[in-house]
Every structure is written in structure tokens, then in C-alpha cells.
Amino acid sequence: MMDLSQVFYPESVAIVGASDRNIRYYVEAMVEAGKLKVFVVNPNYEEVSGVKSYPSLTDVPERVDYVVVAVPAAQTPSVLLECAKKGVKVVHIFTSGFSETGTAEGRALEEKLAEIARCSGFRIIGPNCMGVYCPESGLRFVNDQPGEPGPVAFISQSGGRAVNLVANARLRNVRFSKVVSYGNACDLDFVDFLEYFKDDPKTSIIMGYVEGFKKTDGLLELLKETCMRKPVAILKGGVSEEGARAAAFHTGSLAGSARVWDGVCKQTGVIQVEFFEDLLDLAAGFMYAKPPGGSGVAVMTNSGGSSVVYADVCAKYGLRVPEFEEETQRRLRSFIPVAGSSVKNPLDAWMAFARGKMMEALDAAASDRNVHSIIIELQPENFHVYSRRALDIRDEMAEIAIESCRNVVKEHDKPVFIVVNSSYYHETERAMAKFFQDAGFPVFSSLQGAVKTISKMYLYGRFKDAREDDHQPPQDNYEGSFPD
């Protein structure tokens, strides 16, 4: 079997079937990335988006490592035979109309593609998918994908959601090592990509969206091994009866039951997630914070209502918002007035902000022995509705807050999670989020997102510690279950 690095690091790409009306964006996006030799193959065009078009793959005068196929389904076998002739190593089949149609012809055609690949020694991604985005090599599947790499790999059976996740990751300062949308998986499947990312030094966090696993041999062992090295968070689609039907017609997948999947996660350490947004929350969490060493959370907010609901939601997700030790309360009370505040935890402490005591307040909270992580909630509204001059001090307050957060991480080695609530005052929201993101902190747009993430990170940390310490069969050691 070939080294999968050829899937992610080709030097030349040919896009077969591209035209002004068909996947021109692959051509544009890869030319814009500027790292690969890009060829177009389409007998009906002289050029597509400024790139010369060849009548056939064998007419391309240079070596072609990687081919994107976007011709009608019926013509894909002949293109694959050309790929074989040309000595191509990886073929991404964008085209749909195979097993996901639910027809015998569709299934037969897909099997034929796999057969040609097996005989010819190249590998197939797809069919019915968006293929690979790899910032380092310049592979992209749509316009506007960032050129900077990051530590997150995303293995997605859905193309649309891969496009979406990459786009919206920019809001979270989340960047990718590699993203692969692999559709019907007639050859390369989840397990192949996971195997690669397990060892990939450029990847330290793995996210997945899976509808069904075609190859299951060795999957459990591989998941266990990988989870010991890097967090693996997976959204499993098709866990309900109607979701499974949708999965069958989306990627031709046979989805399993929720219960089986739950068992797999518990055995292997996979972090289960429920929504696509959760994947980004977790990616931001793992990128910019370490898993907390315990379940105790200190919450700092300027809304008493929020503070109550945070405590409830933390409890629901297996975290605690422990009452601060007496010493902590004493320290806080020395500069936070009694009226309109609480120093028990949650810390309802607008006054600490307003009086420039953020550093002292956070230092006191982080010194508490029962606190293992800190959530700071910021409301963009506060800079607009109480005083029209408050916006002038927004950036100054953010600087102080960031210094205070850095102190927590440096002096106390405890992770800090920032919530900037999504707001009508969007510009303020974005500015505040960006301040903290640029300073290297994970930012969430809701209480729920932050609490779910901390809970899952904490359980992942506990799972890893238990395995490392005891060398016991994991299912005996790992009692927590990942709530979702």
C-alpha cells in the first residue's frame, strides 16, 4: 500500500471536466494557492479560468500526481483508465451518481472504479465528495480557503460540511493541517485517513464527520491508539432510523445505531459530538487550552443571571462550580464591594472589571485549590447600552483582561476559556473575540459551547491519564462517559 502522504502532498494536479460552468472554483482556488502545477483537461475548452485546457489527460506534457475528476458518472471509468496510463497516484472523484443513488447501476459503476484503481495501483478519494484541502501543499476545493496551516485534521464524509467548517473555522482562529471530504469511500475510507493522521506530525487534533465505516477491520484498535496520542472528536451521522436513511442516500453508507456508536466511543476514548458547531468549539478548545486537571470551574461574569445558569449547566455536564475557599473570598472581598456582586463563585464581578482589578480577581480565583479552569464571560452589549463612552475603553479593558488571563496560565497553569456572547453589536463582538484569539485564548460564542467543550476536554484528559498511569484495559479504567 502506498504512503498516503501522496494524497496530501502532490506536486501537480489535473482537473478533468472543469469548465466555466463546472467546478471552475477548484482551478481558481489551486491557482490562487500558488503552490501546485495546475492543469485542466476538457476537450471542449481552450482554457478555463486562465489555465490552458488539454483535450485528454495523456496530452498533458508533464507528470501528473493527482487528478480531480468531474465528468459525468458514466464517463468516469474511461478517465480512470487514462489516469492509469498516465501513472497518476491519487484520483479524487468529485462526480456523484454512484452507490448513493440506491440503484444497482450506481453500485456497479462505483465497484468498477474501485476495481480499476486496484489493478492500476492508484488510490481513490470518493466518489461524490470535495476531496482534499491541504494548506501546505496548496490543494484546495473552493475559493477563499486560508493558506496558513494549523494543527487540526478534519476527516469528513460530507463535502458541504467540510466547506462550511473550513470557512467558519476562520471565526475561531482554527486552522487545519489537512481536511478530506471522502464521500462514498469506494477505496480510501475513514480508517485509512485516521491511520495517516495518527502519525502525521503536522496534526495534533483530529475531527471527524462519519456516516458509515466501510472498513472496520482494526478500527477499534486504531481509534484507541490514536486517542492516546491526540484527541479525536467525531460527529456520527445516521444514528437515528431516519438519519440512517438520509445517510444511505447521501453517501451510500450503512449507518449503525446510536448505542453501538456510544459503546465504541467509551471503549476507545473518542469524543462524541452532536452538532457541527461542537467540532469547532472542541478544535478551538484543544488548540488554545490544555485539558483542565479537574472538574472545578471558576466562572467570572458580570451578569448574576448568567452566573446561576452557568452553575446549572456545568452541573449538567459533569463539572462543578465550587464555592471558593475562605482565603479566596477574603482576597476578593478586599476590593469587590458587597452590594451587587458575589465572590462565592460564580464571581459576579463587574466591579472588578470596572475598577481595574481584573488581574487581582483572576489571580485570586486561579489560586483556589478547587478551581481547575476559568470561564470569563463578556457581554458586548455592556459597551453600548450603559454608556455611550464605554466603547472608548473597550480595547483598554481587553488588554487588561488578556494580561490577567496570561497570568493565570503562567502562574497557575490553569486553562482559561473566554465567552463573548453572540450579539446584536456584531462589530464589538468580533473585536473582543479577536483580541482574545490573537492573544492565544479559545473564544466561544455561547455559555453552552464553552461548558460542553470544557467538560469534554476534562474527560479526555482524565481518560488519557487513566490509561497512561495504569496500563489497564481501558474500559475498566474509564468510567466517565462523554455527555452530549
Residue 139: strand pairing partners: 134
Kindly report the number of other CB atoms within 10 A of residue 27's CB atom. Answer: 23
Interacting span for its own copies (CB under 8 A) from 190-198, 222-230, 342-350, 458-466: 342-350
Question: Could you say whether residue 251 binds its own copies (CB under 8 A)?
Answer: yes
Nearer to its own copies, 160 or 356 (CB): 160
> In 349-425, which ranges are continuous DSSP H helix?
350-354, 358-367, 382-385, 394-407
Nearer to its own copies, 159 or 291 (CB): 159
**Exposure string (b/e) for 390-401, b if CB count within 10 Å is 16 or more?**
eeeebeebbebb
- Nine-digit cell string for 146: 486560508
Among the listed residues 12, 225, 276, 325, the single contact to its own copies using CB under 8 A: 276
Question: Could you say whether residue 45 binds its own copies (CB under 8 A)?
Answer: no
Question: Could you say whether residue 260 binds its own copies (CB under 8 A)?
Answer: no
Instruction: For residues 67 and 84, give the distance between their C-alpha atoms in angstroms, rounded to a whole number.
Output: 11
Nearer to its own copies, 31 or 142 (CB): 142
Nearer to its own copies, 291 or 296 (CB): 296
Angle between helices 447-470 and 304-316 (to 10 degrees): 40
| Window 11 to 40, contacts with its own copies (CB under 8 A) | 24-25, 28
| Window 345 to 384, contacts with its own copies (CB under 8 A) | 346, 348, 379, 381, 384
Nearer to its own copies, 64 or 302 (CB): 302
Among the listed residues 51, 70, 311, 450, the single contact to its own copies using CB under 8 A: 311
Handedness of CA 76, 77, 82, 85 (dihedral sign): positive
Among the listed residues 37, 224, 344, 355, the single contact to its own copies using CB under 8 A: 344
Residue 307: strand pairing partners: none
325 secondary structure, DSSP code: P
Instruction: For residues 53 and 45, give the distance between their C-alpha atoms in angstroms, rounded to a whole number.
Output: 6
| Window 146 to 205, contacts with its own copies (CB under 8 A) | 156-161, 163-164, 167-168, 170-171
| Window 96 to 125, contacts with its own copies (CB under 8 A) | 96-97, 100-101, 103
**Exposure string (b/e) for 156-172, b if CB count within 10 Å is 16 or more?**
bbbbebbbebbeebeeb
Question: Smallest distance, Å, CB 319 to its own copies?
Answer: 9
Among the listed residues 53, 329, 445, 455, the single contact to its own copies using CB under 8 A: 445
**Cβ-Cβ contacts under 8 Å for 427 (sequence gap 6 or more):** none
Kindly report the number of other CB atoms within 10 A of residue 148's CB atom. Answer: 8
Interacting span for its own copies (CB under 8 A) from 196-204, 240-248, 431-439, 460-468: 240-248
Nearer to its own copies, 444 or 463 (CB): 444
